[in-house]
Every structure is written in structure tokens, then in C-alpha cells.
Amino acid sequence: MDFETTLRVLTELAGAIWVTLALAAATLPLGFVLAALATWARASRHRVARMIAVAYVTAFRSTPLLVQIFVLYYGLSQFAWLRESPAWIVLKDPFACAVVAMSLCTGAYTAEVMRGGLAAVPKGAVEAARALGLSPLKVLFLVTVPIAVRRALPAYSNEIVVTLKATSLASTITVMELTGVAKDLMSQTFAVIEVFCMVAAIYLAINTILIMLLRALELRLTPLHERPKPQRTARVARPNAAL
Amino acid sequence: MYRKLVGLLTALALGASLAGPAAAEEKPEVRIGTDGGYLPWSSMTPAGELTGFDIELAKLVCERMERKCRFTAQPWEGQIPALEQGKYDILVGGISITAERQKRLAFTQSYANLPINFAAAKSAGLNGKSAWPELREALVGKTIGVQSGTQSQRFMDNELKGDVTIRLYDNQDSLNLDLLAGRLDAALAGRSPWIALTGTTQGEGIEILSPDLNFETFNYLGVGVGGLMRKDSDELRKAWDVALCALKKEGEIRRISEHWFGFDISTRADPAVCGA
């Protein structure tokens, strides 16, 4: 690839980074809300609510995201009545469709992460809080949630990274994010290896920054006495070293 | 049991290595890559067999060359890398001959040439424009779909970029679905997929827009379609060209063109390749 082409490819890819970030930024909060709803429903007293939540999580965890996107985008548009309904405002737009499909998917996985986090809360801590006479709401926000968040954060970081990578599937429904632009550039320049290595490097850079930020957050949330001690090079004289 | 199996495998391996040199004298089969989802050039029957204008033509060429041919269907976007890696000897399926592709790869002579057309819902009232500038004006501000990596996309980039919203599709089928669903105001492709689409009951509401955007007015679109191969396969290219010359002269390409397209899209024999 000559210099001019490289420059053009890089400029176009740089523009697409924002689309990728926007997809992830719209998907993650929506997915989080869906996951919170599902977690709440799974712990509900009502059987129907529990069943709906379990069905949702199972269905979206057990089918490929690509299939979910296709069903939502190409599948639903087959129904004329749907095209005339207000839902079409969302479904007509490829970006919105991608966000909805990915939110549903990441919501199901995040619900599992939340379940894991809640299960890791020691019963003793909750009982102790109750024994101190804290109200159930206070127990939830002062004891259960802080511990659960700490336990769930490593798994949730993973989910964030996975979601960012999954945005590449949006290119199959015409959203021109990083991978979509890369495919287009590839067919123009034929520089398959070069273009895709650049794309891989961009994803790597974004995710490295994300992972570092999430690590820092994890450390902040860990109480002082549980933080790993900074390692120092030991300068202790070895006994018997002279022998 | 295990020993028997090992013995059997060894015997098989020996047999294969003995049979090797004898088989090598015969010319290896020609591995042909094609889209399989690009009606009527190259498509799949419900039974999973490849069919279409290019498939039928390639079979005739193989017959002429007295070579065995094997067809493999693969989506267009991965075909050129696969060809360069040596997974195929030649690609066929409505592939336009362009200077850019010729830089890295080699083409057979052109054997067919087809205009590209916009298509839109009849209700949009975009049809009936007599010349391109007039149609262009009507399209400004619209959302238009096109298959990526095609000559139609090139046309969009050259003539309409910035004035319309361009949506890129991996294949013609997805493009059709979104045109039918009304997500697109118009779509651009070779004339043939539109003939196929408007002929179905689903596509009743779609019409092909005039004018025909042909390769003569927009010369960057190239001289038509050809078989695409690596630059190092000179021998195969020559054999393929000789067969194409004969098939053109006998009117065979015209015959299958009329069968698949409903009209003649064959190009004349290239004098540089076929002689006078």
C-alpha cells in the first residue's frame, strides 16, 4: 500500500471509530437496564415474572447474536402490519436496530453476571446487617450491592469488551462502523491484510484503554485491606549466604 | 483392532503415494469460485446445485478445454483473497473487468456487458427520466442501497457521494429485502437482478428506472464481465480465451444469454485474442 492510500484508509477508519464507540455507548446502558429488570424479575415472588425473565435470558444466551440481528432487522421487516406500526420508526433505522439487538443480547449476559455477583455476597454479612437493625433497603444498598458490584465487576468488564467487539456485527445490517468501513476499503484497495491488521490494532487499542480503566475502577472499589500489596524488591540479607 | 486400523491407514497412504505420479500426468481439475447468490449470473437451486448464466457458460468452456471443473460457492467479498491464496483457479459470476482489479489480477476477455439501473418502488414515482442528470436531481437527499465491492458502488461513489445516504450491503438478497421493506428509497445494481426481482410476486411494486446507465457513458465502469484469475495462470487464461472465442463465434453465448437474461448481453469476440 502506498503512502497516499494508507493515509486515506487511516482517515476513513478513524471516522468509523466514533460509530463503533457510539454503538457500544448506546448498547451498554440499555443492556444494563434490561439486565437489572431481568435480575429483579428472576428474584420476584410472581411465577410469571420469573418465567419470563428466565426465558429471556436463556433464549438470548443460547442463540448467536448474528441470528438475533438478522431476525430483528430482515425478519421483522417482512410483516406489512409492523411496517405500518410506530415500531417501524425504530426498526427502519439500521443503527437503532443494531442497538436494540445488541442490548437484548448483552442484557441477557449481564443478568447472569449480576446473578453471579449477588450469589457471591456472604449470607453472614447480610444477617449481621439485619441483626444491627438496618432496614431491608439499607441492607440492599449498604451491604448487598457494594459487595455484589465488587464481585461482579471483573465479569462485567469482560462483557463490556465482548460488546465492543460485537459491534462489528452491525456492519451486516449496513451500519458503517469500523468493520463495515474496513470491508468497504478492502474491496476498493484489495489490501486485505493491511486494512484488517489496522482494524485489529484499533480494536486492540480501544479495548486496552477500556480494560485499564476498568482495572483502576476495580482497585478503587476494593477496600484498602483487601488490595494487593505493592511488591517491593526484597533487600533482605540471605541467611547463610556466606557459607 | 488398533493395529489393524494403523495397517489399513498405512496401506492407504502407500496406495495414495503410488497413485500420485500417474494422476499428475492428467491436467488437474479447474477450481472455479463463484458467488451462488447473484441471479441470474450464478445462483443456487433449492436442491443446492449451482446454476445460472456464468455456471452454464463455464461448463461449456470446460467441455471445450476438455478439462474437469469443480465449482465452489462462496460470498463475493471473500473470493478475491481466496483466489490470491490459490484456493481457486478462476472466479466467474458477473465480475466486471476494471483497471483496478487488473493491477493485481488477470481477466479473460470480456464475454458479456450489462447496463446498471436504479430500481425503486413504483409509488415513489421516480421512473421516466430520460437522462442521468434528470434522475440524479430526483435522487438527491434519498437513501440508496448498493452491494459493496460492485461497479454499482463505484458509480454511487463517483456520481452521488455526499448528496445521498449510501447504504452498503453484502449481497443482492439483503439489498432486495430492504428495498421491499421500504428502508431504501432506491437501489442500484446490474440490470439483471432487477429483472429477476420485478418478475416475482413480492417485487410487483418495484420498477426498473430509466435511463440505463451503461458502460459507454461512464467509461470507468469497464468493458463488461470476464473470468478473474491470478496473473501467474497464463496457460489457463489462454485456454479459457480460446474456448470463449469459439463459443462467441458459434452464437452459444448469445443463446444462453437469451435464456438467462431474456436478451442478448454477449460481447463480440476480442480481435486481439481471437484473431480476425
The full set of domain ranges for chain B reads 28-113+223-274, 116-216
Question: What class does CATH assign to B28-113+223-274?
Answer: alpha beta
Lowest mean pLDDT among A24-33, A216-225, B177-186: A216-225
Q: Tell me which DSSP letter residue A77 carries.
A: G
Tell me the residue range of the domain where A81 lies: 3-222
Q: Percentage of chain B surpassing pLDDT 90?
A: 64
**Letter for the amino acid at A241?**
A
pLDDT at B191 (0 to 100) = 87
Question: What is the rounded end-to-end Cα distance, in angstroms, of chain A?
Answer: 64
Say what the pTM is. 0.75
Do B28-113+223-274 and B116-216 agree at the fold level? yes
pLDDT at A231 (0 to 100) = 66
Q: How many domains does chain A have?
A: 1
Q: Which CATH number is B116-216's, of 3.40.190.10, 3.20.20.70, 3.30.160.270, 3.40.30.10?
A: 3.40.190.10
Cβ–Cβ gap B77/A192 under 8 Å: no
Instruction: Compute the radius of gyration of chain A from its Cα atoms.
Output: 24
pLDDT digits 0-9 by tens, A160-210: 999 999 999 999 999 999 999 999 898 888 788 999 999 999 999 999 999
Instruction: Compute the radius of gyration of chain B from its Cα atoms.
Output: 22
| CB contact set of B63 (below 8 Å; sequence gap of 6+) | none
CA A220 – CA A201 distance, rounded (Å): 29
Asked if B178 reaches chain A (Cβ–Cβ under 8 Å), the answer is: yes
CB B50 within 8 Å of CB B34: yes
Q: Is residue A148 part of a domain?
A: yes
Q: Is residue A240 part of a domain?
A: no
Residues facing residue B51 across a β-bridge: B43
pLDDT band at B10 (very low <50, low <70, confident <90, very high): low
pLDDT at B24 (0 to 100) = 43
Predicted confidence (pLDDT) at residue B51 exceeds the cutoff of 70: yes
pLDDT band at B20 (very low <50, low <70, confident <90, very high): very low
Instruction: State the smallest CA–CA distance between residue B214 and chain A in angstroms.
Output: 21
CA B194 – CA B172 distance, rounded (Å): 10
Q: Is residue A183 part of a domain?
A: yes
Contacts of A78 in chain B (CB under 8 A): 177, 181
pLDDT at B7 (0 to 100) = 54
pLDDT at B214 (0 to 100) = 80
pLDDT band at B123 (very low <50, low <70, confident <90, very high): very high
Predicted confidence (pLDDT) at residue B154 exceeds the cutoff of 60: yes
pLDDT at B242 (0 to 100) = 95
CB A83 within 8 Å of CB A77: yes
User: Average per-residue pLDDT in chain B?
Assistant: 88
Report A:73-112 residues touching B (Cβ under 8 A). Answer: 74, 77-78, 83, 92, 94
Predicted confidence (pLDDT) at residue B27 exceeds the cutoff of 90: no
Cβ–Cβ gap B182/A83 under 8 Å: yes
Q: Which of B215, B250, B226, B224 lies closest to B109, judged by CA?
A: B226
Predicted confidence (pLDDT) at residue A238 exceeds the cutoff of 60: no
Q: Is residue A243 part of a domain?
A: no
Q: What is the mean pLDDT of residues A19-30?
A: 97
pLDDT at B6 (0 to 100) = 53
Cβ–Cβ gap B77/A186 under 8 Å: yes
pLDDT at A32 (0 to 100) = 97
Q: What is the mean pLDDT of residues A25-46?
A: 96
Q: Is residue A43 part of a domain?
A: yes
pLDDT at A125 (0 to 100) = 93
- The partner residue sitting opposite B149, judged by closest CB among A77, A78, A187, is A187
CA B79 – CA A187 distance, rounded (Å): 11
CB B94 within 8 Å of CB B172: no
Output the domain CATH number for residue A40. Answer: 1.10.3720.10
Does residue B220 sit in helix, strand or coil?
Answer: helix
Cβ–Cβ gap A174/B104 under 8 Å: no
